Amino acid sequence: MDWVENSPVETVGKLFLMVGAILLILGFLLTLLGRAPFIGELPGDISVKWRNVTCYFPVVTSIVLSIVVTAVLNLIIWLLRK
């Protein structure tokens, strides 16, 4: 027995663990970001109020979060390749 293949059940189990860990981290980050006072209120975020309807378009917040997430993911990938 030089090489033993993982069973499909074991592979699915590992996949579920990884997805669960990712969801846990995302939930933690979203909880922290929900408490940040500047998220959603940056200059350039659009809020339209008309009668009893409010439409909110967080343009600048989305751009800033995209840049931060891209930088963090690139740093993680760079560290894993070393």
pLDDT tens digits, residue range 37-74? 776 778 888 889 989 998 988 899 889 889 988 998 99
Structural domains in the chain (count): 2
Same domain, 26 and 52: no
pLDDT at 1: 46
Please tell me the distance from the alpha carbon of residue 17 to that of residue 12, in angstroms, as a whole number. 9
Same domain, 59 and 28: no
Same domain, 49 and 77: yes
* DSSP type of residue 49: E
How far apart are the two ends of the chain, measured CA to CA in Å? 32
Please tell me the distance from the alpha carbon of residue 10 to that of residue 15, in angstroms, as a whole number. 9
